[in-house]
Amino acid sequence: MNNRVWIFDTTLRDGEQSPGCSMNVPEKLRMAAKLVELGVDILEAGFPIASEGDFQAVDAVSREFPWVQVAALARSMKLDVERAARSLEKAKRPRIHTFLATSDIHLKYKLKKSRQEVLDAAVSAVELARTYVDDVEFSAEDGARTDPDYLEQVSKAVVAAGARTVNIPDTVGYSTPDEYGELIGRICKALGDTAVVSVHCHDDLGLAVANSLAAVKAGARQIECTVNGIGERAGNCSLEEIVMVMKTRHDRYPYTTGIHTEYLFPASQLLSSIISFGPQPNKAIVGKNAFAHEAGIHQDGFLKEPTTYEIINPKSVGVPESRLVLGKHSGRHALKNRCEDLGYHLSPAELDLVYQQVTELADNKKGLMDEEIAAMARRSQEQAAPQPVGD
């Protein structure tokens, strides 16, 4: 079986439609350039019927990056599909991504439609989309909570109508790895090699990455994800996390992507500077503390051999260097190194003096700035310097 997994980035669509994440067209273009550099396979640039800005964003990304596979979202409705098709006119490899909810709860309360009506609408939308483009993806919204028999029926019908990718989203982040893997395995078996099975997981229970991995093991070959895991509510599967799991634990997950991982951190930084928030400090891979060490035992081990406490070389994800945070948990070894980095080669007596001050000061602080450490090192050398002796 082919082990190449397609990375479908939806930072500019699902990510962008969440609170605090709106992006205008120039901002989406800047982010798109980073995503292209990162090597995403499919770039979902917007939901053209939703707003003029979304239409323009898809159009602008299609013009600016004509060789990239650009996707536009559309409900399974004539006007949506036509609008998506128009926004993609300049793309060389356009994809129309049409969706319709298939779970009973959505059918009953949101759509007020029968299963047959939904099936017919999905098939019509895919057929219409195929009159504009060759590459059509169908998403069965709330797929994880859909009756598997019906989901299989819809999946087969949209593929017969011309869809090349069938996405089974866990729209509300409710599924678990074993349950989701089972469902995806069943759909993969039903479709065989007639279509790529895709996954789109939300993180409401913190399982988006785990669920996506379970799906890949079960045969899915496209993962929909976002930089920094932004997206509706608790967000989507985090691009940097899923990619680094498959790279770092290739022994357990022998799959490859086209992502140039050294651009992960720069992409995360750019996104943070465009939207209104960055990842939390302890966020895996791209958080401020992801490669920071404060505890003395950890710092000592790290300085002797980085792999004692680091499973990923920070440079491989574009983080400039590991950060040893000097605080109350630090030891002499890390302090001596930092002072040397700052240009102070301290004698054992001088180091003792600085170490004493650091532990006293750091007790009341959350970590020390380089300038504070430099000042202490300077003072220690002044104090320890031999005093002029009078006669």
Binding site for Mn ion (CB under 5 A): 14
Cα-atom radius of gyration of the chain, to the nearest Å? 26
Q: How far apart are the first and last CA of the chain?
A: 89
Q: Exposure of 371 by Cβ count < 10 A (0-12 exposed, 13-18 middle, 19+ buried)?
A: exposed
CA 217-220-225 angle, 5° bins? 100
> Given the complex with Mn ion, which of 234 and 312 has the nearer CB atom?
234
Tell me how far, at minimum, the Cβ of 67 lies from Mn ion, in Å.
26
Q: Residue 21 or 303: which CB sits closer to Mn ion?
A: 21
Largest CA distance in the chain: 107
Whole-number minimum distance, CB 201 to Mn ion, in Å?
9
Residue 142 DSSP class: T
20 torsion bin: left (phi>0), alpha (psi -120 to 50), beta (else): left
- 148-160 helix and 177-191 helix, angle to the nearest 10 degrees: 40
Min CB(170)–Mn ion separation in Å: 9
At closest approach, how far in Å is the CB of 188 from Mn ion? 21
Instruction: Give me the phi and psi of 328, to 5 degrees please.
Output: -70, -15
User: Of all residues in this chain, which one has the CB nearest to Mn ion in the complex?
Assistant: 14
* Shortest separation between residue 13's beta carbon and Mn ion, angstroms: 9
Q: Smallest distance, Å, CB 317 to Mn ion? A: 25
The residue (of 101 and 354) whose beta carbon lies closer to Mn ion is: 101
Query: Which one, 170 or 294, has the nearer CB to Mn ion?
Result: 170
Neighbouring residues of 368: CB distance < 8 A, sequence distance ≥ 6: 326, 327, 358, 361, 362
Q: Given the complex with Mn ion, which of 236 and 380 has the nearer CB atom? A: 236
- In angstroms, give the least distance from the CB of 200 to Mn ion: 6
- CB nearer to Mn ion: pick between 216 and 351: 216
Q: Which is closer to Mn ion, CB of 231 or CB of 314?
A: 231
Token readout for 219 is 């045969």
